[in-house]
Amino acid sequence: MSKMKRKGGSVSIWIWIIGGLIIGVVTFTVAFTQLSHIVNQSFRQNVVSDFEKLNDEIGMVCGYSIGTKSEYTVELRDVMAIFANDTRGEAPNDAPNKILNGESGSGEYICMTFYDQHYRCEDHFCEIEMDYIGDPPQDTTMYNVGIQDGKFTYELEIEKVEDRKVEVKATHVP
């Protein structure tokens, strides 16, 4: 009889140990997921802030005389594209290729589209010609170099070139 008590006690201890480990793993997984979500939201908020500051810079240059220049640096992640367009709307499906090829768009709107949602477009008084910026296509040298630090950095030169025209030239900084 005493042997049966020992065996039963030993099994119940192992059940408690395994149950505790399972609860610990589940708790760790939930905490890690929540922390990851918070970090991503924080970076997205920084991208939105950079987009708003970029629009402020463009508006300021637009209001000054021809030849006025400004430089601005943006850090992007999970952004399909920031681009100029003549209407409000989402980025074209081939926007990552336009980024890779250094193409530009033009119009009175500067728009930003994340991969999972269209953010918004800002209207400007000047016509804007702007290089597409954002995440380049995966499996390209530009992507592989930029993704190493988790973001894509662009130096922008904003210049008023005509009475109601502003150019935004982008250079990817690896």
Q: Which residue has the higher pLDDT, 102 or 43?
A: 102
Sequence-separated (6 or more) residues with CB below 8 Å from residue 2: none
Residue 98 scores a pLDDT above 90 = yes
Q: Which pLDDT band, with edges at 50, 70 and 90, does 21 fall under?
A: very high
pTM: 0.77
Least confident interval from 35-44, 62-71, 161-170: 35-44
- pLDDT value at position 1? 45
Which of 68-72, 75-79, 103-107 is predicted least confidently?
Answer: 75-79
Report the pLDDT value the prediction gives residue 12, as an integer from 0 to 100.
82
Q: Which of 113, 43, 121, 120 is nearest to 80 (CA)?
A: 113
Q: Indicate if the pLDDT at residue 7 is higher than 60.
A: no
In the predicted model, is pLDDT for residue 167 greater than 90?
A: yes
On average, the pLDDT of the chain sits at 89
The side-by-side arrangement of strands in the sheet containing 69-76 is 69-76, 152-162, 165-173, 118-131, 104-114, 79-85
